[in-house]
Amino acid sequence: MAKLAPGIEMLPQERQQRILQRLRSHGRVLAAELATEFGASEDSIRRDLRELAAKGLCKRVYGGALPLLAPLAPLKQRHAEHAGRKLALARKAVELVREGQVLLIDAGSTNAAIAAALPERMRLTVVTNAPDIALALYDREGFEILLLGGRIHPRVGGAVGGQTLRELQRIRADLCFPGACAIEAETGLWGFDSEESLFKRAMVEASGETVVVATDDKLGTQATHQIVSMTDVQHLVVEHDAGRAVRAAFVAKGASVHRAGVVRA
């Protein structure tokens, strides 16, 4: 983002529009950096960020702001959205799976694509809280399937709650795929629903390694409930066009970042 010429002062509305553009392209903004670039005081920038946050356009954090991710649409709607992008992510994600492993796969449209992309005849055990994932795998060769019980959350598309957690706590998996509502390098993985977030955290605790698969819109964002920090995420699978700066931020936190292939029209 270019600096303004000396003596030219940007209007607050123009400054805020530039801030939103920066959030979309970089995934985060820092007040000190914006003040230098805009030739404004940090107090003015912080006021801009407060106003944007009050309008529901960003999330204020210490020193700056993050994009505010919209709550998830119903699962049936998500299944129909961005199928090509999710398929590309799924194909990259299953490259991390090894023969004979026990996998924990969360509910969600991207995870349904991962389940569909799993290769057969690898003696895989799949533990899931999602009936649609269990149903998609049950007649394929080489899979043992364990469906966790409990109350099915209609928006999540999977079981959550006390019974589901108790059953999960008796499982030990090699690899887990928790659904990603939001993920940010400094603060980790986030969810919108409290029960669902507790389930995702228990998945991570029950697994040797964690793979987070995220579309571009979820990178550099936060939701309502923190699930785990980035120290608990070993692998992050991103879309091919995920920004270099965003990828580097996750690598700096110790995660192996895997880029999906190009989505063909």
For the ranges 19-28, 59-68, 198-207, 236-245, which has the lowest average pLDDT?
19-28
Amino acid in position 28: R
Indicate the class that CATH gives domain 12-67.
Answer: mainly alpha
Residue 7 has pLDDT above 50, yes or no: no
pLDDT of residue 73: 53
pLDDT classification of 222: cutoffs 50, 70, 90: confident
Residue 19's nearest CA partner among 11, 10, 9, 29 is 29
Q: What is the structure's pLDDT at 144?
A: 97
Confidence category of residue 1, pLDDT binned at 50, 70, 90 = very low
**Mean pLDDT over residues 227-254, rounded?**
95
DSSP-assigned states of every residue in 194-241: HHHHHHHHHHHHTEEEEEEE--GGGBT-B-SEEEE-GGG--EEEE-TT
pLDDT at 238: 97
Q: pTM score, two decimals?
A: 0.75
CA-closest candidate to residue 259, choices 237, 243, 244: 237
Share of the chain above pLDDT 70, in %: 89
CA distance 251 to 214: 15
What number is the average pLDDT over the span 142-146? 96
Distance of CA 236 to the CA centre of its chain: 9
pLDDT at 141: 92
Residues 6+ apart with CB under 8 A from 256: 234, 235, 236
- Contact between 31 and 45 (Cβ < 8 Å): yes
Distance from C-alpha of 126 to C-alpha of 265, rounded to nearest angstrom: 31
Beta bridge partners of 104: 127, 176
25 vs 178, 181, 244, CA distance in Å?
26, 19, 11
Confidence of residue 98 (pLDDT cuts 50, 70, 90): very high
Domain ranges of the chain: 12-67, 75-259
Look over the chain and give the mean of its residue pLDDT values, rounded to a whole number.
88
Give the model's confidence band at 213: pLDDT under 50 very low, under 70 low, under 90 confident, else very high: very high
What is the topology classification, in CATH, of domain 75-259? Rossmann fold (3.40.50)
**Class of residue 194 by CB neighbours under 10 A (exposed 0-12, middle 13-18, buried 19+):** exposed
Task: Report the distance separating Cα 94 and Cα 99, nearest Å.
Answer: 11
Residue that the structure tokens 């998500």 belong to: 78
Mean pLDDT of 41-45: 91
Which pLDDT band holds residue 11 (cuts at 50, 70, 90)?
A: confident
Which of the four pLDDT bands, split at 50, 70 and 90, describes residue 23? confident
SS3 132: helix
SS3 content of the chain, % helix, strand, coil (to 5): 40, 25, 35
